[in-house]
Structure 1
Amino acid sequence: MLITKTRVLLASLTATMAVVFSASSAIAAEEVHAVIIVGAGMSGISAANKLSKAGIENILILEATNRIGGRIQKTNFAGLSVEIGASWVEGVGGPRLNPIWDMVNRLKLTTFYSNYDNISSNAYKQKGGLYEKSEAQKAFYAAQELSELIKNVSKYLKAHRQDDISILASQRLKNQVPSTPLDMAIDYIAYDYEFSEPPRVTSLKNSIPLHTFSKFGEDAYFVADSKGYESVVYFVAKQFLTTNESGEITDPRLLLNKVVNEISYSKNGVTVQTEDGSVYRAEYIMVSASIGVLQSGLINFKPDLPPWKILAMYQFDMAVYTKIFLKFPDKFWPTGNGTEFFFYAHEKRGYYTIWQQLEEEYPGANVLLVTVTDDESRRIEQQPDSDTKAEIMGVLRAMFGMNISEATDILVPRWWSDKFYRGSYSNWPIGVSRLEYDRIRAPVGRVYFTGEHTSEYFNGYVHGAYLAGVDSAKMLIRCVKHGDCCYSIPPKGS
């Protein structure tokens, strides 16, 4: 009898709890946001800010990591604050003010002008020390002349509405394909170092000349400030998100550690699920995940995105740019004016080619920065840091002699391996026309997209991410506030 009563009591309690949980779920399901924004990098925060200023304040930002900033991230390395993601404000000193440069100056972040003018005096052979200055300068002059010829080819293709070709194809047209270690290293600095992919895959028409330099200027400034380059993202975020007395963001509209794994959309609205089982609803959604994440399938769309959208996204490239920091007990490399950048000419293209000594940025720290890209980045990400350090020491000994000191610390970022990024920034490859690019940017029903990869002229840059957020938000504002939800894609070749 006691057992029977216990069973009845438990059954009643279970039923009561079911009603409570059901009611709680119903309440959560009834909360419908105007817009959910996936990702709190520069583009996501920029879009949210623009929406807020337009009066669309019932937003919810879901960020997969434990911070905002995305691919702008500082970290501690050997007691120093260094940037493992974006490091430069590129596009300064031109006819228009770069919005990121404006923010950096408002925040009074410490920056350093990057002067590459004397790099030809710092060219190291694969074996045997420095190249003769005259030999290196001759190779640089030839590369500059080829660069001008390539620009003319690009202008011709655009003016005559000809099909796109790769940068490498344009070099072949001029019968000047770099082949020696020195020429390949200079070519790497000119193209791979900027686009993170080689000339054979990079679009000529959409990369040369670069809008960033023609619109904003050709100067670049390296950010080295303990506050971090990410301060620019916080600068935008704090324009619409509430903070506490310490300046920390406490706004409930920003949720961290929320990994979106499913987006269901229809003509009636959007439902978002996260890995922790949470469910959120909205009238619209803005997806600011990188093009690499979109290609990886981390986010499942229901129904599937239309074929035209998937094909366009899969055609674009997510490049990998890896800045490797090393600290030494002493300096064995040249310092002073004209020595900040130096390079190593190896028979294997991109093998620890471009170097930067950071004496001005971090005085007395004895820190070097070497950059690798593309396949070398992917290879290095998959091996132990000890192997990478051994390879790097071999290169440094080839440049500066066998008796140099061993590195005490090494930092190797892994953007490609990180499922929340899958690379560093986008690169426009050969074969993607303006039509495909407009499709990458285009919304699908109530699903909108933003990110540096959707910037019309500045993909791959921090200012591109910021301006893309603004542009995508404008599209959504037109739809929400004015009923103009049509996105026109010009016909191919127009």
Structure 2
Amino acid sequence: MVLVLLIVLVTFLSLNDLLETVAARDPTLTVIIVGAGMSGISTAKTLSDAGIKNILILEGTDRIGGPIKKTKFSGLSVEVGANWVEGVNGKEVNPIWTMANHIGLKTYYSDYDHLPANTYKHMGGVYEKSIAQKAYDTADGISEFSKNLSVALTSERKEDISILASQRLGSHVPSTPLEMAIDYYTYDYEFGEPPRVTSLQNTEPLPTFTNFGEDLYFVADSRGYESVVHYVAKQFLTTNKAGDIIDPRLKLNKAVTEIQYSRSGVVVKTEDGSVYKAAYVMVSASVGVLQTKLINFVPDLPAWKLLAIYQFDMSVYTKIFLKFPHKFWPTGNGTEFFIYAHEKRGYYPIWQQLENQYPGANCLLVTQQPESATKAEIMEVLRNMFGKNIPDATDILIPKWWSDRFYKGTFSNWPIGVTRYEYDQIRAPVGRVYFTGEHTSEHYNGYVHGAYLAGIDSANILIKCAKWKLCTYNVNPKRDINLNANATRTSNDLTYWQLHEKQLRE
């Protein structure tokens, strides 16, 4: 009789009803957080601090930290993801810098001032310092022009353009190997994508350096950069005597595959068949993951939300570590960073010798996009710089962020034409589904501090709804922009045009 009743029950219940019946075993959850990177952990802590402690964090991998990730390489602990605390010693204090100092994280100041003396030709050694310095000064000048142009365009409510377009307006588009290498260092090295696809108004001037300072510190600590994420997590999650997190509200290896949402709540399903129910869900997956079908939303996210997500870019910033039997590159003060100027733009241009961070390890770090690097290519570049008799690398590490289904890239980049209107839509909740991540940070997308601050901001939006029933999220209307390039100039237009004409005269 029991078996017959069970068959009848399954027959008449829809799949959704069945899932909600199973999930109802734990009806006390207020919020499920999808992802335990910096944004997810920051969100959870903010909720906990506000008294919302009946939360559950579901992480698809076997660790917390997201793209802040260490690994072993030739006996060293290196960072395959985020590596720098960027924005230090400014008028405001970067919260990540505060955490790093609090836990005694080993960091090293990155000194880029000596690049003109360490810029290598495609073939034939180092550029004369005076020649390289002139090229760097020119690049600084056009960058300053771009910043002023961005401010003028924004204040006069003009349409966004690319950084490359601003270079064209300034009558200087990098074209020689030296100019292209410096251009890569100036922009791609920071944003993970070239100037032709990067928004001018949303990246120049860059709030990270304007607000927090222009200094950068390289993290090289056996505990890993991820220890700052653990520091935040341990402020609200239970740990054992050894300091390990044992809180049942954090569940690892729980890859979320489906999120059902309705007016009454959410049902979250994971790859292993587990089902969880809560009043709200906070999704901290990267914008790259949201652009895939890893997580199925039921019903589908509305068109306005999908369009906003699909318009944003996900960069692939690849750091390649190499170990050699001995050093063959310059060492000492002023030699940490060096540039390689190849006739092909972005061909292994930025190099760093890691003697300060890992004394005696004989390691180099090179940055390359996209993920098409090979050991043979890298060795050819090094032999062009340092001679044919240098030894082969004994070990090489090339992270594959794009092919990792849990990340699909490294961090977001603000593309041309995406305004604060689309940004508001990216961050906006859909019913009981809320969103966070570095890509939702209004001023600091792409940075660790952006991920941390975005978690706080997104949590506060949810708190207003969960605690105070203030569930309306306003997206300001898209501003009217005069798209008519032939429109008659007015007195309000002169600032932009005068700036352009002044640069042309100079």
Instruction: Give the TM-score taking structure 1 as reference length.
Output: 0.93
Within 5 Å, give how 1:262-301 maps onto structure 2.
262-301=258-297
Alpha-carbon offset, residue 17 of structure 1: 9.7
Q: Does 1:29 align with 2:34?
A: no
Give me the CA root mean square deviation.
1.9
Q: Does 1:486 align with 2:472?
A: yes
The change in CA–CA distance for 1:52 and 1:413 in structure 2 (over 3 A counts) is same
Alpha-carbon offset, residue 133 of structure 1: 1.1
Q: Does 1:463 align with 2:449?
A: yes
Match of 1:402 among 388, 391, 411: 388
Q: Does 1:248 align with 2:244?
A: yes
2:440 matched residue in structure 1: 454
1:177 matched residue in structure 2: 173
The change in CA–CA distance for 1:424 and 1:25 in structure 2 (over 3 A counts) is closer
Structure 1 residues not aligned, in runs of 5+: 1-11, 381-387
1:73–1:84 contact (8 Å) kept in structure 2: yes
Alpha-carbon offset, residue 153 of structure 1: 0.6
What whole-Å deviation, never above 9, does each CA across 1:275-334 have from its counterpart, x for those lacking one?
111111010000000000000121110111111000000000000101100000000000
Q: How many residues align?
A: 473
SS state at 1:36 partner: strand
Q: Does 1:140 align with 2:136?
A: yes
Alpha-carbon offset, residue 120 of structure 1: 0.9
Within 5 Å, give how 1:157-176 maps onto structure 2.
157-176=153-172
1:215 matched residue in structure 2: 211
Could you tell me how far apart the structure 2 residues matched to 1:194 and 1:372 are?
Answer: 12
SS state at 1:343 partner: strand
Could you tell me how far apart the structure 1 residues matched to 2:282 and 2:51 are?
Answer: 16
Alpha-carbon offset, residue 24 of structure 1: 12
Could you tell me how far apart the structure 1 residues matched to 2:20 and 2:150 are?
Answer: 58
Alpha-carbon offset, residue 16 of structure 1: 10
1:42–1:233 contact (8 Å) kept in structure 2: yes
Match of 1:186 among 171, 182, 193: 182
1:155 matched residue in structure 2: 151
1:29–1:279 contact (8 Å) kept in structure 2: no
1:7 matched residue in structure 2: none
Match of 1:69 among 65, 70, 77: 65
Match of 2:356 among 347, 351, 360: 360
Could you tell me how far apart the structure 2 residues matched to 1:450 and 1:13 are?
Answer: 46
Could you tell me how far apart the structure 2 residues matched to 1:121 and 1:88 are?
Answer: 23
SS state at 2:24 partner: helix
1:43–1:466 contact (8 Å) kept in structure 2: yes
1:9 matched residue in structure 2: none
What whole-Å deviation, never above 9, does each CA across 1:398-427 have from its counterpart, x for those lacking one?
000001111000000011110000000000
Q: Does 1:315 align with 2:301?
A: no
Instruction: Give the TM-score taking structure 2 as reference length.
Output: 0.91
Within 5 Å, give how 1:366-381 maps onto structure 2.
366-373=362-369, 376-377=370-371, 379-380=372-373
Alpha-carbon offset, residue 174 of structure 1: 1.2
Aligned partner letter, 2:448: V
Aligned partner letter, 1:56: I
2:322–2:364 contact (8 Å) kept in structure 1: yes
Could you tell me how far apart the structure 2 residues matched to 1:258 and 1:62 are?
Answer: 6
What whole-Å deviation, never above 9, does each CA across 1:423-461 have from its counterpart, x for those lacking one?
000000001011011100000010000000000100000
Q: Give 4+ residue runs of structure 1 displaced > 2 Å after superposition.
A: 12-19, 21-30
SS state at 1:30 partner: coil
SS state at 2:126 partner: coil
The change in CA–CA distance for 1:288 and 1:25 in structure 2 (over 3 A counts) is closer
Structure 2 residues not aligned, in runs of 5+: 481-506
Could you tell me how far apart the structure 1 residues matched to 2:264 and 2:403 are?
Answer: 36
Q: Does 1:239 align with 2:235?
A: yes
Alpha-carbon offset, residue 192 of structure 1: 0.3
1:389 matched residue in structure 2: 375
Within 5 Å, give how 1:196-215 maps onto structure 2.
196-215=192-211
1:385 matched residue in structure 2: none
Sequence identity, in percent?
Answer: 68
